[in-house]
Copies of this chain bind each other. A is one copy, B any other.
Amino acid sequence: MGKAKDQPRPQRIHQAIATKLGTAILAGSYLPGDSLDGEIEQSLAMGVSRTPYREAIRILVSKGLLESRPKAGTHVTPRHRWNLLDPDILAWMFMGQPDKHFIRDLFELRGILEPAAAAFAAERRSEAHLDTMRDGLSGMKEHGLASQAGQEADRQFHRAILEASANEALASLSSSVGAAVQWTTHFKQRASKSPRDPLPEHVAVFTAIADADAEAARSAMSNLLHLAFEDMAEALR
């Protein structure tokens, strides 16, 4: 058990095309209102049959990126209809050059959600949640934030807090928050060779939650985010 079996499952065609088109749209290669040409041409151009191409289109439609009607064709929808917090969409965004404004927005959202989540977590967390947080912290300490493993541990810590808030609506935002966390460390690493160690703030949050002190947890998390934002700020402007 615990064997990290990362067999890279062969990507299905429909998934591959959805990813390809999704990243292109989010990168701005297609603008809202633009029209993709017909299924037959597109699928032929990509060397696949219409079946998986159409399935890819359905995926993008279901995430609000496209709309398609007979005779009218398939068009990119206005940006305000995109499900920007959908996990796939965030992942696709992360593949390209992310939009600075949106990262700021996402970070602002973190600033709203996570302190509140930490407060709830302090009141509602179980022992299992605390264990997961501990695992995350030790992972961060062991691997450091320069490594993949360390960043994953960081996300695990934040995810555990959202789950410990015992609120499904909050918890389902964990992947969105995770994406924000990822970008944060990304920019932080890029901005400085020897970035400040963020472990102390994280430990402070954990301690407050373990002590079941809601207000302490809230302000500790606010502090963590404030520091993280400062680390990231210069890269963002």
Contact = CB atoms under 8 A, between A and B. Distances in A.
A221 B166 CA distance: 24
A236 interface: no
B112 A172 contact: no
Number of identical protomers: 2
Nearest to A68: B12
Contacts of A105: 167-170
Interface in A136-175: 163, 167-173
Secondary structure at the A interface, as helix, strand, loop or mixed, is helix
A58 B173 CA distance: 22
A202 interface: no
Given A51-B51, A84-B169, A105-B169, 5 more contacts: A55-B55, A59-B62, A62-B63, A108-B120, A112-B170
6 contacts: A51-B51, A51-B54, A82-B172, A85-B173, A86-B86, A112-B116
